[in-house]
Structures are given as C-alpha cells and as structure tokens.
Amino acid sequence: MEHADPAEVERPDADDLALDGNAAAGELESLFGPGATVSLATCAHCGTEQAVARLGTWSRGPGLVLRCCACGRVAIRLVRAPTVLHLDLNGVTRLRIPSGGR
Amino acid sequence: MTDAPSPVARRGPVPWQVATVTAIRPETPTVTSFTLRPAEWRPHVAGQHYDVRLTAEDGYQAERSYSIASAPEEAGQIDLTIELVPDGEVSAYFHEVIVPGDLVEVRGPIGGYFSWRPGERPLLLAGGGSGVVPLMAMLRARAAAGARGPARLLYSAREPDEVIYHGELARFAAARDGFEAFFTLTRRQPPGWTGYARRIDREMLAEVARPLGTEPDVYVCGPTRLVEVVADGLVAVGVPAARIRTERFGPTGT
C-alpha cells in the first residue's frame, strides 16, 4: 500500500523540460565514478530496473531531480549548496555500479 | 531493461580544469563549433560530453553539458558544437563573447551510456537539430577507424540552412564505405529536394532501418519528443529496445 506524495506523482506538464540521466552525468560521476550513468537503478516505487542514463532528469531548478522512466516518480534528488551536497536516494532501492574491472 | 553494466576503463571522477579556445568555426546561422585544448586532455569515446562552467565576477556560476563533436583520434583537443539558444546563458557567452585564446573551465569526458566504439555491427543513428552532434562524433570516429560496417544516419532539421555538418556528411556518404545519410527537412525544402519532407514517422524509420537487419546498434539524440517517436517507432518495426540508446536534448542541454 502506497501513499505517495501527490506532488511527487504528478509529472510536470512541460515534459519537454525533462532531459535524461546523461544530462546529470558530470554531477553523478563526481559521486559514483565514471560508471555512474551506466549504473542500474531499481525504482523504489515500481521496481523497474533502468540505466541511470534513462532516468528522466529535471535540471532547471537549484538542483537535479531524476525520475523513474517507467512510473515517473522521484528516484534521486541532488542539490549542491556552497558547503554541502544534499543527496536523496529515497526512490532507489538499489544501484548497481560497474566497478571498472573486466 | 536488460542493460548490463559495462566496464569502464577510467577510474575516479574527472576534475574541473582550464581549456584554451583555439578555433571558432560557424556551422549554421545559429550553430558554431569551438575547438578547445584542455590543459590535461583525456581520450574520450564518441558520444561523451564535456561540462562547461562559467563563473561571473560575483561568483554566480552557470554550467552546461555539451556533446563532443570530434573523434577521439584528434588527440589533445576537442570540438564542441554549440547552438545559440534564446536567453541561453552559456551558449550566448560562447557565441557572442568568446574569442580564440580565451580560457574556459571544463570537466570531461563524461558519460558512458550514450557512447560508441567503432566496430562492424550495423549502426543506425537518428538525430534532430543539434542532437546530431554526438552522432557526428561517432561518424568521425568510424571514418578515422576505417570501419566499413553498414551505417545509416537519419537526420531531421527544419530547414536546409539548419543542417549542421552538411558538407562533411556528404563527403562521408560519397566515400561508399558502408555509410549512408538520410535527411528530412520538416519546414522548408530547397527546390528539387529529393529527401524526406516530414517529421520522422514509423514508415520513414522502417525504410531507413530495415536494410540494417533486425539488430542494429541504435543511437538517438534530439529533443524529447523526437527521441520518443524514434525509439517507440523502432521498437514497433522490430528493433529490440535493448539495442536502442537515447539522449535527450532540451532547453538546458544547449
């Protein structure tokens, strides 16, 4: 049973403002390394596993909001403030990050 | 999704650094290519980007991500092809202020999902507007590597003047090395135009994709709506979704 925040479920009308996780690559790689966008994220809401590059990305605000490409709900929030980085991974149950070794 | 994590050679995040603008080359009335020499050049894979950061005197920063247009074989430098967007903070600075010799802050190469290494597998590239930029890096890498596998580009632009890299694409197509270019001009076509003259649709995708067989590697880059039409359309004509990699361009991406 889910009681999702309605504001979180509602997708912005202007979907054209949405990019994808490729647009967040610089910020995400600074945290998770060069494999960040090919990492696989499992959505905490619907269970879909998707490459981080495929997450819908809204980057026009003061931070980044990344949403599941299947259900549209928030997966990752990231805000860089002058002295602290806020990272909310509440919408992701698992990240599989390639470690670089072959 | 069936994406499997793929190995990446580089370790650790790339740092911000300074790059020198060494050349500026207009491509269309609103699109210009800038050659940058980063202090520490790192080899990239076609399709990757650089982040560019501008800092005002009061400390305000604006950051954008731009696809690399050049092939990795051009060691020591990268080309960024940047479209001037209305009210664009970073693109306007590039178009209206920067001159050769100027320094800009960059971080890259970044991104690993929308990237292609030359090979012989059938390749389908589809792009709209400045979404052709990372696809051009792939075609330049393909030419530099001497790859001869079948490759097709479907490029949508509104008007003839807006086609970026027109001359170079024509030369690539004339080389008869397996590459073919298909254009659609959606708003205005020149006299005698024999290419497509409508927005990309399923029929067009079927015509362009079919000769590549059932499992081409597909890269789609452009505005969100184009990316969705192309990705959905290709799945409808039988291309496995797992073979399709997409990158969306938007108001903030340019």
Q: Provide Rg for chain A, Cα atoms.
A: 13
Please report which confidence band the pLDDT of residue B186 belongs to, taking 50, 70 and 90 as the band edges. Answer: very high
Question: Is it the case that residue B250 has pLDDT exceeding 70?
Answer: no
Contact B246 A54 (CB under 8 A): yes
Give the separation between CA A46 and CA B26, rounded to whole angstroms. 46
Question: Is it the case that residue A99 has pLDDT exceeding 60?
Answer: yes
- The residues spanned by each domain of chain B are 17-110, 123-249
Asked whether the beta carbons of B184 and B197 are under 8 A apart, the reply is: yes
Contact A21 B113 (CB under 8 A): yes
- Supply the pLDDT for residue A6: 43
Q: Which residues of B touch A100 (CB under 8 A)?
A: 7-11
Tokens of B175: 């080389």
Residues β-bridged to residue B248: B222
Which DSSP category does B87 fall into?
Answer: T
| Helix (H/G/I), strand (E/B), else coil: B133 | helix
Give the separation between CA B189 and CA A47, rounded to whole angstroms. 46
Share of chain B above pLDDT 90, in %: 87
The third-level CATH classification (topology) of the domain covering B17-110 is Elongation Factor Tu (Ef-tu); domain 3 (2.40.30)
For testing the chain A interface, which of B243, B247, B254 should be mutated: the one with the most A CBs within 10 Å? Answer: B247
Give the minimum alpha-carbon distance from B173 to chain A in angstroms, rounded to a whole number. Answer: 29
Question: Is it the case that residue B135 has pLDDT exceeding 90?
Answer: yes
Please report which confidence band the pLDDT of residue B170 belongs to, taking 50, 70 and 90 as the band edges. Answer: very high
Give the separation between CA B213 and CA B207, rounded to whole angstroms. 11
- Supply the pLDDT for residue A7: 42
User: By CA distance, what is B47's nearest residue in A?
Assistant: A22
Domains B17-110 and B123-249 share a fold: no
Q: Which of residues 47-86 of A touch B (CB under 8 A)?
A: 48-54, 59-60
**With respect to CATH, is domain B123-249 assigned 3.40.50.970?**
no
Give the separation between CA B53 and CA B62, rounded to whole angstroms. 6
Amino acid at the residue B209: A
| Helix (H/G/I), strand (E/B), else coil: A1 | coil
Specify the higher pLDDT residue, A14 or B127.
B127
A35 in contact with chain B, both atoms CB, cutoff 8 A: yes
Contact A29 B14 (CB under 8 A): yes
For testing the chain A interface, which of B3, B55, B58 should be mutated: the one with the most A CBs within 10 Å? Answer: B3
Question: Is it the case that residue A1 has pLDDT exceeding 80?
Answer: no
Q: Which residues of A touch B221 (CB under 8 A)?
A: none
A38 in contact with chain B, both atoms CB, cutoff 8 A: yes
Contact B12 A33 (CB under 8 A): yes
Question: Is it the case that residue A13 has pLDDT exceeding 60?
Answer: no
- Supply the pLDDT for residue B110: 95
Asked whether the beta carbons of B107 and B199 are under 8 A apart, the reply is: no
CA distances for A91 relative to A34, A45, A47, B92, B104, angstroms: 22, 7, 10, 36, 36
Share of chain A above pLDDT 90, in %: 68
Q: Which residues of A touch B51 (CB under 8 A)?
A: 26
User: By CA distance, what is A56's nearest residue in B?
Assistant: B248
Give the separation between CA A65 and CA A45, rounded to whole angstroms. 15
- Supply the pLDDT for residue A101: 53
Contact A33 B65 (CB under 8 A): no
Tokens of B88: 């664009």
Asked whether the beta carbons of A25 and A37 are under 8 A apart, the reply is: yes
A101 in contact with chain B, both atoms CB, cutoff 8 A: yes
Question: Is it the case that residue A19 has pLDDT exceeding 80?
Answer: yes
Give the separation between CA A26 and CA A97, rounded to whole angstroms. 15
Question: Is it the case that residue B56 has pLDDT exceeding 60?
Answer: yes
Contact A16 B225 (CB under 8 A): yes
**Lateral strand order in the sheet of A74-80:** A19-20, A56-58, A64-67, A74-80, A85-88
Specify the higher pLDDT residue, B25 or A3.
B25
Asked whether the beta carbons of B126 and B230 are under 8 A apart, the reply is: yes
For testing the chain B interface, which of A22, A68, A97 should be mutated: the one with the most B CBs within 10 Å? Answer: A22
Average pLDDT over residues B147-152: 96
- Supply the pLDDT for residue B11: 58
* Burial (Cβ within 10 Å: 0-12, 13-18, ≥19) of residue B162: buried
What is the average pLDDT score of chain B? 92
Helix (H) or strand (E) holding B226: helix B224-236
Average pLDDT over residues B71-88: 94
